[in-house]
């Protein structure tokens, strides 16, 4: 027995070592596999994905203003500075004047490069090499729209829109003494959301039936509307479905109704179109500084009849034509200064005076639609300060436009009465059931 002990022991020892080695090898292999899985490289976004989705939210700031990098591209984000042209931006990224000229030609039917505004964001995607040549320039026209200037292959320009989601909201309020509509809405929605909703109420819905310069304490409102979001970020007001506004004890309900594919308007509970042939005011939320009638002239000091309405507003404030028509005069006119006259029909004509400058598309002979901007507030001619002098002519004679009974626009079509009744019933129920 003893003579077999050593060989047997040796054999067992070798076997143990081999088993241990195999186990260790298996464990090492397993660990190696796990490490490989844990360090899988995340695939960076393509250039088209960067254009559509922007740079990743968790990206970090790199050198020289670079916000994001891939193996091929450097991505730079910036903001348009006052007076800065697109050529100044692209020149930094080796886009020469010849290509910029080609860009202007390619974009003229899509987006006028002169309309790039300061404060708007942009993204430049450059080649990641010694030349750093711009491949794409993305201009953020709004929170939902962007313009892509693509220098890859051939120069091209196209519009893009971010995916927008909506949610419905409803608010109510009462005008407080010394407050106003904006204050009442801002108190509930915040200062960012208030302006566009106020604008829709005052211009798109009630601009023909309520003079918002005359609203007073105890006037009240209910508004049912939608809010728009991009990636959970608020981007603006969507449709206003219905509203109820009580002014001087009289309640006017408004229900949004789409008559056909192109025509959308607001009607009251009696199927009357709230849109009139004329807007109540040619300027958004300006103060009436001088009414129609006798007054002491601010320059001559003599008493004479003031044949229009003066709206005090800062220089550059947009002026809208109060109704559709043809421009018959667009030039300087004595004491009126820069003046635009619009003939609407044989019955009505309107005049807009003291403009700082004219809007292109509002020259003599041009047809303008209701709400189109025709010029900007100024103080040209006989004026003591910036304001709009507005005159309203009835058969060639100036009259007080606030005292005119103006006809409504298109009535509800007979074939749509049943469909409108369903919409009216639905929205009326929502407004009545809302409790603040």
Could you state, in chain order, the average pLDDT of each consecutive group of 10 residues for the chain (436 residues)? Answer: 42 46 48 47 68 64 64 85 88 87 87 87 85 88 90 87 93 87 90 90 80 82 95 91 91 91 86 82 78 65 76 92 90 94 89 94 88 94 91 92 74 90 96 78
Model pLDDT, residue 116: 87
CB atoms within 10 A of CB 382: 16
Q: What is the CATH number of the domain that holds 84?
A: 3.10.450.350
Last residue of a domain, one of 161, 194, 228: 161
> Both 70 and 156 in a single domain?
yes
Q: Are 368 and 325 in contact (CB under 8 A)?
A: yes
Which pTM does this prediction carry? 0.58
Q: Are residues 155 and 179 in the same domain?
A: no
Token pair for 431: 């407004």
The pLDDT score that the predictor gives to residue 29 is 46
Q: Are residues 176 and 120 in the same domain?
A: no
Domain shared by 134 and 175, yes or no: no
Local structure of 40: helix, strand or coil? coil
Plot region of 126 (φ>0 → left; ψ -120 to 50 → alpha; else → beta): beta
* pLDDT confidence of residue 89: 87
- Residue 281 inside a domain? The answer is no
Q: How far is CA 52 from the centre of its chain?
A: 19
Q: In what order do the strands lie in the sheet with 264-267?
A: 165-174, 220-230, 233-247, 250-258, 264-267
Question: Which domain-ending residue is among 267, 296, 316?
Answer: 267
Q: Whole domain around residue 64: which residue ranges? A: 47-161
The rounded Cα 39 to chain-centroid distance in angstroms is: 44
Is 40 within a domain? no
CATH of the domain at 387: 2.70.70.10
The reply to whether 415 falls in a domain is no
Structural domains in the chain (count): 3
Q: 198 and 99, same structural domain?
A: no
Whether residue 126 lies inside any domain: the answer is yes
Q: For residue 61, is it within any domain?
A: yes
**SS3 (DSSP) at 83:** coil
Q: Is residue 27 part of a domain?
A: no
In a domain, 130, yes or no: yes
């Amino acid at each position: 027995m003893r003579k077999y002990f050593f060989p047997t022991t040796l054999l067992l020892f070798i076997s143990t070592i081999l088993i241990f080695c195999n186990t260790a090898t298996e464990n090492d292999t397993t660990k190696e596999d796990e490490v490989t899985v844990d360090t899988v490289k995340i695939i960076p976004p393509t250039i088209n994905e960067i254009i559509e989705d922007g740079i990743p939210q968790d990206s970090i700031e790199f050198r020289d203003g670079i916000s994001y990098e891939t193996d091929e591209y450097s991505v730079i984000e910036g903001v348009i500075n006052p007076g800065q042209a697109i050529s100044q931006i692209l020149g930094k990224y080796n886009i020469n004047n010849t290509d910029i000229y080609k860009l202007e030609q390619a974009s003229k039917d899509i987006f006028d490069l002169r309309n790039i505004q300061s404060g708007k964001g942009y993204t430049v995607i450059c080649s990641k090499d010694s030349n750093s040549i711009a491949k794409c320039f993305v201009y953020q026209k709004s929170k939902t729209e962007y313009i892509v200037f693509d220098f890859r292959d051939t120069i091209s320009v196209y519009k893009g829109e971010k995916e927008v989601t909506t949610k419905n909201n409803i608010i109510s309020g009462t005008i407080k003494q010394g407050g106003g509509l904006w204050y009442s809405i801002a108190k509930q929605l915040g200062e960012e959301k208030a302006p566009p909703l106020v604008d829709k109420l005052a211009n798109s819905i009630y601009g023909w039936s309520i003079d918002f310069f005359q609203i007073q304490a105890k006037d009240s409102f209910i508004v049912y509307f939608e809010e728009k979001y991009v990636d959970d970020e608020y981007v603006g007001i969507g449709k206003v479905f219905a509203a109820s506004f009580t002014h001087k004890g009289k309640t006017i309900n408004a229900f949004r109704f789409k008559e056909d594919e192109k025509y959308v308007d607001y009607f009251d509970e009696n199927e009357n179109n709230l849109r009139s042939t004329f807007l109540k005011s040619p300027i958004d939320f300006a103060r009436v500084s001088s009414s129609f009638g006798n007054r002491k002239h601010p320059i001559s000091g003599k008493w004479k009849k003031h044949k229009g309405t003066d709206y005090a507003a800062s220089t550059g404030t947009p002026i809208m034509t109060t109704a559709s028509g043809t421009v018959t005069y667009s030039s300087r006119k004595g004491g009126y200064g820069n003046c635009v006259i619009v003939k609407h029909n044989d019955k009505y004509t309107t005049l807009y005076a003291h403009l700082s400058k004219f809007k292109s598309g509002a020259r003599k002979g041009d047809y303008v639609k209701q709400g189109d901007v025709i010029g900007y507030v100024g103080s040209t001619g006989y004026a003591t300060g910036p304001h709009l002098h507005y005159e309203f002519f009835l058969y060639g004679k100036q009259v007080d436009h606030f005292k005119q009974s103006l006809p409504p626009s298109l009535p509800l079509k007979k074939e749509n009465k049943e469909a409108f009744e369903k919409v009216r019933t639905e929205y009326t129920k929502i407004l009545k059931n809302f409790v603040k």
